[in-house]
Structure formats: C-alpha cells, structure tokens
Amino acid sequence: MIGPGRRDRDGNNFAMILGMNAHDTSSVPDADAAMQMLRGALGQIEFARDYTLQLLDATPMDRWFEIPEGLPTNIAWQVGHLTVSQYGLLMFRIRGRRPEDLSLISGRFRKAYSRESIPSDDSANQPTADELLSRMSEVHQLGLAELSSVTPETLLEPVDMPYAAYPIKLGAILFCPLHEHIHAGQIGLIRRGLGLAPVR
C-alpha cells in the first residue's frame, strides 16, 4: 500500500483516496438512488471528456510525443492512459473482460499505458496520435453504451479500489470523471511545458 503522502507515477495520492472512501459500507445507496447517481455520473463523464478534447484539439499532434523538460510524461501517454482507464472503469470492472476486448485494448496497449508504465517519446514504437485519439473515442462510446443498459443490481455489486464514495461498481463509474479531470490537469501542465497558451 502507498503510505500517507506518497504518490504513484500519475500523481494520484491513493492513501488520500483510501481515506476518503473508508466509511461504513452499509451507507451504500439503494437501487433507485444508484440509478439517479448513474445519470449524474454520465453527465460528468461527458463533461470531463469534452474538456479533455478541448485541450487535445489545441495541441498539435506532432508534439504529442514530446516530454517537456522537467516533466515525466507527454500527451500521447496521457491519451493512452485515459483510454486504458476508461475501459477498466466503465467496461471491464462492470461486466468483465470479453474476447472482443482484446482487439480494443490489447495486452501490449494496456502495458504501454497502465499506471505502472513509463511514458516514452519514441513515437516509432507507439500508435500514432490519430490512432490514440481514435481508440480513446471508441472506448468512450462503447463504455457509455454499456452503461446505458446496466441494471441497478449490477451497480450495487462490490468492487475493489479504485472507486469513489462507495465500494461498489457504481463507485468505479463515479471515479471515472474524477480520474479524467486529474489527467486533464496534467495535459494542461504538459501544454504549458510545451510553450502553448492555456485553453482556459
């Protein structure tokens, strides 16, 4: 476990997140409340993605693989990581892995952009910026499609970290836009490191 004050490569403080979520599991919402919270989460997921896309649209694709001096990451890794994470939070953790998922998120792709991976500026050994953006969009659309038919019973099933507020599958969904905003902030910082003007 990561101790107090320690952060992973993403800059996420998991000790803080664990503390925030350490509450009585009997306080989980009922089925009606869970569905209402899901609707709110869907709006937040869309809002977070729209903001991320604004940042990416304002960043030349030929600079996605640059790692600015003093920073440990680049735009390409952020996009790949958001893709892997959204697949995990909205699809894998909700309904498990399916055979067709391997063509969507291969083992190589997952290892290249997982939390433990190290961002690389070697564009020759990675998908192109266009391919990364297309894969991110595909996962986003498929993830939202999965949630359109999710049942209250599924939302209330228990799940391991990471999650937000509740240790159930709904909590994994609630964590998705929070996680994306963390990385949108990192993308904004990378853009400043590249000498680009802020979007907002």
**pLDDT at res. 26:** 55
**pLDDT at res. 200:** 76
Give the pTM: 0.87
To the nearest whole number, what is the mean pLDDT of the chain?
A: 90
What single string gives the DSSP state of each residue in 17-75?
HHHHH-S-GGG---HHHHHHHHHHHHHHHHHHHHHHHHHHHTS-GGGTT---TT-S--H
Residue that the structure tokens 């640059």 belong to: 66
Banded model confidence at residue 159, pLDDT cuts 50, 70, 90: very high
Distance CA 7, CA 190 (A): 18
Q: What's the helix, strand, coil split of the chain in %, to 5?
A: 60, 0, 35
Q: Between 198 and 14, where is the model more confident?
A: 198
pLDDT tens digits along 92-128: 999 999 999 999 999 999 999 999 999 999 999 999 9
Residue ranges and CATH numbers for the domains of the chain are: 30-193 (1.20.120.450)
**pLDDT at res. 17:** 43
Radius of gyration of the chain (CA): 17
